[in-house]
Amino acid sequence: MSYPPPRYKGDTGQVSAVFRPSTQAADLSYGGRNIHYLATGGSTEGAFGLYRWDFGPDESGPGPHFHRALSESFFVLDGTVRLYDGERWREGRAGDFLHVPPGGVHGFRNVAGAPASMLLLFTPGAPREEYFETLAELAAGKVLGEQEAAEFFLRHDNYEV
């Protein structure tokens, strides 16, 4: 494996870093969850998407599913997050990491009855924001018809197992 071809062609570097303080409000909040859009696919030119997912104490999170185009990685920051590795549910605690390549069955849940927090990394950087925002609308009572739901999950590379 080698480095990819250069994407920056200048000679002196540029001022382009983006700092996000930990005190910045979540980009999306619903049902006790706070999702922080740390680096979206749009802001990374499609290289990756990085999100902080803060769970409330209530049980939440998707069951087993997979993505055909995306890899997804999880890094537990705080609390306990149950992570499904395709074979079994594992108790992920602060510092634990799970990487799932495209096609890998996975899931995550907060079932501990206490808040928890983790980082989610998607590569490449697909537009997950619309997916998260639609989940919030569904939690608030929006209903998708069968065809509309199928198109939604297909558009966002989500396949339930």
Domain boundaries, the chain: 28-160
- Looking at every residue in the chain, the average pLDDT score rounds to 96
Q: What is the pLDDT of residues 104-114, one digit of tens each?
A: 999 999 999 99
Class of domain 28-160: mainly beta
From 87, 33, 23, 83, select the one nearest 58 (Cα to Cα).
33
Residue type at 94? A
Which secondary-structure segment (H or E) carries 149? Answer: helix 146-155
Q: What is the pLDDT of residues 31-52, one digit of tens each?
A: 999 999 999 999 999 999 999 9
